[in-house]
Amino acid sequence: MVHCSDYRVDSRIQRQARALAARGDRVDLICLTPDGEQSVGAGSIQTHEVAVGKPRGGARAYLGGYARFFAGALRLVTRLDRQAAFDVVEIHNMPDFLTFTALRPKLRGASVALNIHDTFPELFATMFGLSPHHPLVRMVRVEERLSAAMADAMIFVTDEARDLVAARGVRASRTSVVMNTPDERLFGERREPVDLPVDGPVKAIYHGGLAPRFGVESLIDAFGLLAARDPSLSLDVYGPNPVAARELAARAARVAPGGVRVAPDPTPVEEIPSRLAEAHIGVVPTVRDRFTELLLPVKLLECVHMGLPVVASRLPGIERYFSDDQVRFFEPGSPASLCDALLDVRSDPQSARERALRASARLAEIEWPRQREAYLELMDQLAEEASGRRRPVSTSAWRGAATSRASA
């Protein structure tokens, strides 16, 4: 797997890597995580660090950071494939053009899967305030098309994302949807809905990205409004970016002193269930734009899994899976609407519990065991196809093992 992220805080990659390793596969991760190895079930997960840091800055600096990661990942994939041939190379975007790090394995017959966490053209345009017709956005669309042409399969998080990319004429020989549903290894069985206390303090929680599109600023502002109306409500914020966390903590100190706590350091995926277990209400305050309209946030599903009543932005991607009698919706980007939604949940614990119960039943229809089965079936198909066409790139370069390891 090739991904420009830290494995320790990337729950999607953790779920899929562990699913493969648990049944006996060897999984190599080319990523931003320091080198290391862990045994999982009958298999193992090996991390190989590309030490370039997470891409940041303006649009050109952002693309430049991805280019540096690409160069390091290309070298690592090539070296590892020479040592022991891969059956499958799975690219987790962003960016899509990381598919070309698999050039040597692809020429040798390995299968390549492109796992679309986010549709890159929409995200890139909204991140930097660019028109869909801007030259850089058009370039990213070309990149998406070329990357898909390199792949034997494309994996999407939702049907909406798959349909959007297909409507652009971007296709691989097969597509699959593997949703971001909670891993029962970490979260255990779905919990019974939480009983909100009638009196006493009630704690809301946000856990996830801290970029502006995730709406944490609006959430903090809502708690500023709540201070005068219901001071028993408080908020804990957990995110992966210490710089953004400091900025949000300063905002909270100004707007909602004493009502909001922002964790200063990234929270490992393994600690998220215990943080959710301490809370009473889950909040998903995502702002609406062309990119976020497609999202079904994993943090929403994790809150539902842990029995929390959820207050969420009214976004098409969320409404595709959850209804008003399962989630308490509010208008995206409106602190006043979010404040009202939180007060509604706080004032009617019985209705909040009933919504949480219905949301849990909905989650059962798409939960991780079903997604895992579909994912492993796809990996097996790709590995079988690779075994039928495997060949050395050249006699001098070939140093693969006589028996190929099963890798993704």
**pLDDT value at residue 218:** 97
CA-CA-CA-CA torsion sign (118, 97, 74, 406): positive
Least confident segment among 9-13, 19-23, 75-79, 260-264? 9-13
Mean pLDDT of 222-244: 95
**pLDDT (tens digit, 9 = 90+) per residue, 117-152?**
999 999 888 888 888 899 999 999 999 999 999 999
Kindly provide the b/e burial profile for residues 353-390, where b requires at least 16 CB atoms within 10 angstroms of the residue's own CB: bebbebbbebbeeebbeebbeebbebbebbbebbeeeb
Instruction: Give the pLDDT band of residue 341 (cuts 50, 70, 90).
Output: very high
For 92, 279, 288, 365, the CA distances from 183, given in Å and listed in that order, are: 18, 19, 27, 14
Q: Residue 391: is its pLDDT beyond 70? A: no
CB atoms within 10 A of CB 42: 10
Q: Residue 26: is its pLDDT beyond 60? A: yes
Above pLDDT 90, what percent of the chain?
A: 77
Higher pLDDT, residue 200 or 390: 200
Mean pLDDT of 390-396: 51
**pLDDT value at residue 407:** 42
pTM: 0.80
**pLDDT value at residue 393:** 52
Q: How far apart are CA 26 and CA 44, in angstroms?
A: 5
Least confident segment among 26-30, 38-42, 63-67, 226-230? 63-67
**pLDDT value at residue 269:** 84
Mean pLDDT of 374-388: 95
Q: Residue 37: is its pLDDT beyond 50? A: yes
Convert 190-254 into a string of H (helix), E (strand) and C (coil): CCCCCCCCCCCCEEEEEECCCCHHHCHHHHHHHHHHHHHHCCCEEEEEECCCHHHHHHHHHHHHH
**pLDDT (tens digit, 9 = 90+) per residue, 90-112?**
999 989 999 999 999 999 999 99
- Report the candidate in 292, 266, 268 with the shortest Cα–Cα distance to residue 125: 292
Averaged pLDDT score across all residues of the chain: 91
Question: Does 185-364 match 2-181+368-389 at the fold level?
Answer: yes
Instruction: Give the pLDDT band of residue 397 (cuts 50, 70, 90).
Output: very low
Q: Which of the following CATH numbers is that of domain 2-181+368-389: 3.40.50.2300, 3.50.7.10, 3.40.50.300, 3.40.50.2000?
A: 3.40.50.2000
**pLDDT value at residue 392:** 58
Mean pLDDT of 298-302: 95
Mean pLDDT of 236-265: 96
- What are the extents of the domains in the chain? 2-181+368-389, 185-364
**pLDDT value at residue 56:** 74
Higher pLDDT, residue 158 or 56: 158
Q: Which of the following CATH numbers is that of domain 185-364: 3.40.50.2000, 3.40.50.300, 3.40.30.10, 3.30.2400.10?
A: 3.40.50.2000
**pLDDT value at residue 199:** 85
Q: Residue 54: is its pLDDT beyond 90? A: no
